[in-house]
Structure formats: structure tokens, C-alpha cells
Structure 1
Amino acid sequence: MNNYKPLIDYINKYITLTSEEINLLEEHTTYRKYLKGQYIVQQGDVCRYESFIVKGCLKTFYMDKDGLEHVVLFGIENWWAADLGSFLTQTPADYNVQCLEHTEVIQFSFDSLELLYQKIPKLERFFRLIIQRAFVTSEKRIIRNFSLSAKERYIEFKNLYPQIEQRVPQYLIASYLGITKEFLSKVRSEIIKEQ
């Protein structure tokens, strides 16, 4: 039960689970540990799990045909990690999800999640709410990428995710922002000079 406390606390922000429902949830999910560098899903494989991060840090990225990584998301404690499109459709993943630190997750398989929806109908409402939030966040990021300069995007990133910057190498932050690590270094120097 103790390993599940972060997930139960997170869910209880949206819906309230009874002790019987919590037991069902634990019965139909898996607590798993990954080592730094391990993949939860790789591009081209079907994403088998929606993973709630209990401890650790992950990156979701696309590898282009030239072998360049394009970071789309980071994930830390109390966040979710998956290639959602692949998970929902059970088709090959467009993205990789890789651990940047030793990571512990609670995983919902596609089948177990469908079963939980039947046994705990309010879980569907919970997942709808968090997917809506993720969608809105994604849309806002697209607008920022079109409308803000690299410097403004970096400042926004630091403000929105201060706990991530300390845990992720600068070259990955540069990839997330869509700039080179050299340009990010220049932007950071400018900001330091202005302070």
C-alpha cells in the first residue's frame, strides 16, 4: 500500500476512491522499477503501459531518420509517461520513453485499465480529466513555440518546471526548446548578464 500512496493521493485530487476500490486498483496494476537509461517504450513497439511516476525522471522523445533526438516531454514524480497514441490504439509507438534517473512507476496495462473502468466507473472521469489537462498543456506549448523567442521559451520553461531544470542535462532542455545546446548556453549567459 505504501508504494501506492502517491498514486492514490494524486487520484483523490480528482475523485474519491473507497478502500475496496483502492484494493482493486492495486490488484490490477504493477509497481515496477527501471534503471537509469532503460526504456519504458521504444519507437516502433506498441506502448503497453500508462505509467504513473512515483520516483524518478523520464524523457519522451522522437528519433528522426538522421538519428537526432527531439525531446517532447519530461516526466517527474506525480506525472504520467507513455506514448499515449500508441497506448490508446495499441499500434506502434512514435515516441521513446526513457529513464533519466532510476525510476519507479505504477503501470496500467491497456486491458487492466479497461477492466478497471468497468469495475470503478469514476476512473474513466479521472483519466478524462488528466488527459484534458495534458491536451491543454500541449496546445499551450505549441503556441509558445510559434510565438515566443528562444529566450522567452527558456524563461517560460524555467518558470513552469523549476524542479526539472536541476535534474536534466542542458542539451536535453535545448532539444525540448527546439534549439542547439550552444544557443541555449548563449541565452543563459544573456539572462545572467541581465540579472
Structure 2
Amino acid sequence: MFEKIHDYLSRFARLSEQEIKIFENSLELRKIPKKTILLHAGEICNFEAYINKGCIREYFVDRDGIELTLQFATEDWWVSDITSFEDQVPSDMYIETLEDCELLVLTRQAKENLINEVPQLERMFRLMIQRHLSKLQKRLFKTVSSTAMEQYVEFLDRYPALSQRVSQQYIASYLGITPEFLSRLRAKHLKNG
């Protein structure tokens, strides 16, 4: 259950056996069926979750009622609404499981206790947020500076297996295009090799 997250931890910190046990005891294993909304817009996010198994999407609904996918998260990634979690303000987004998921969940209180007991984990969480921010900035830049085809190719390069796990509707939503336009892009991409 903790094998993947131990590998994740080892990239950021060297912990003693006792510190690793404290970390493990702070996490709650949750098995969540697919199509479960973990967070609704308007709620305060009270978790950060490491994805041991499964696929999740974060999205918001615009004023016209259209769902816009912000990101996908799969194994070895964390999911949360950072702003809502840290500032304890209502979320603007939804977090939904797209597959059956196995999550290691850290509540806000458990995280505070954990950082007090194992201070070097604060560095891990800081680097985790920096990594997340970096990915979002790159995505924003690509969104405003690339063609739809370039964004689609970037998506395939960045997430090679995801197109087999996620519906084309969600991929189109992520790219900010219609499913019909995505079908045309896919056909053109396949034709051009």
C-alpha cells in the first residue's frame, strides 16, 4: 500500500524509519469508485490525496454550464484544490474520479500535525506545490501560444497512456475544444503520422 509513496518521498527527503511510520500513520487509505465527486464547487477542500491507483480530473463549470477540465491526475500524483485547502475558502472546482481509485488521503489537521512532528516534510510539500505551479504555468503558456493541433500533440507526448484511459469528451474539454473538433484533429494527426 505504501510502496509507491515511499518512492515518492525518497525523491524529496531522507526520513528515519520512525519518521516514515509517522507519515504512514497520518495517511488514510480510501478506495473510491469511479465517477465519484470528491469535491464540489462551493465546498471547502479538506484533503490532499496521493493517487496510488486510478485517474482523477479537476474541472470547473463556466457560466454557460460547460465543464472545462483543468487537469488530469494519475498514479504518483497528488490531487487537491490547493487554494481552498490552504486558505479554507470555498472551491471553484470539482474533483472527480474517472476510474476506481486508491488514494492515500491527508487531511488539513493531519498535515499540520505531520509537519510539526517531521519538519523536513515541509520541504517536500513546498517542492510539490512548486512542481504543480510549474506544470500549470507551462500549460497556461501552451494554451495561449499554441495551435489546437500543437496542444493535442503536446497532450499525447505528455500523457501517452491517458488517451486510452480518459474519454475523448474530457480530452476535448482539457484542450478547450469541442469533441467534434478533437475528432478532426485526431484524424489529421493519424494521417500525418
| Shorter-chain TM-score range | over 0.9
1:55 equivalenced with 2:53 (yes/no): yes
Measure the CA separation in 2 of the matches of 1:28 and 1:148: 42
Number of the residue aligned with 1:77:
75
Offset at 1:65? 3.0
- What is the SS of the residue equivalent to 2:111? helix
Aligned amino acid, residue 119 of structure 2: P
Aligned-residue sequence identity (percent) comes to 38
TM-superposition CA deviations, 1:108-147 (whole Å, max 9, x none): 1111101111110110000111111111111111110011
Structure 2 residue ranges without an equivalent (≥5)? none
TM-score, L = length of structure 2: 0.97
Number of the residue aligned with 1:8:
6
Measure the CA separation in 1 of the matches of 2:100 and 2:191: 35
Aligned amino acid, residue 151 of structure 1: M
Structure 1 residue ranges without an equivalent (≥5)? none
1:126 equivalenced with 2:118 (yes/no): no
Instruction: After the TM superposition, list the runs of 4 or more consecutive aligned residues in structure 1 that deviate by more than 6 angstroms.
Output: none
1:149 equivalenced with 2:153 (yes/no): no
Of residues 37, 40, 54 in structure 1, which corresponds to 2:38? Answer: 40
TM-superposition CA deviations, 1:1-51 (whole Å, max 9, x none): xx1111111111111121101111122221111111111111111101000
Please provide the CA RMSD for this pair: 0.9
Number of the residue aligned with 2:66:
68
Of residues 91, 94, 104 in structure 2, which corresponds to 1:93? Answer: 91
The within-5 A match list for 1:13-28 is 13-28=11-26
Offset at 1:66? 2.7
TM-score, L = length of structure 1: 0.96
Equivalenced residue count is 193
Offset at 1:173? 0.3
- What is the SS of the residue equivalent to 1:192? helix
Measure the CA separation in 1 of the matches of 2:31 and 2:37: 11
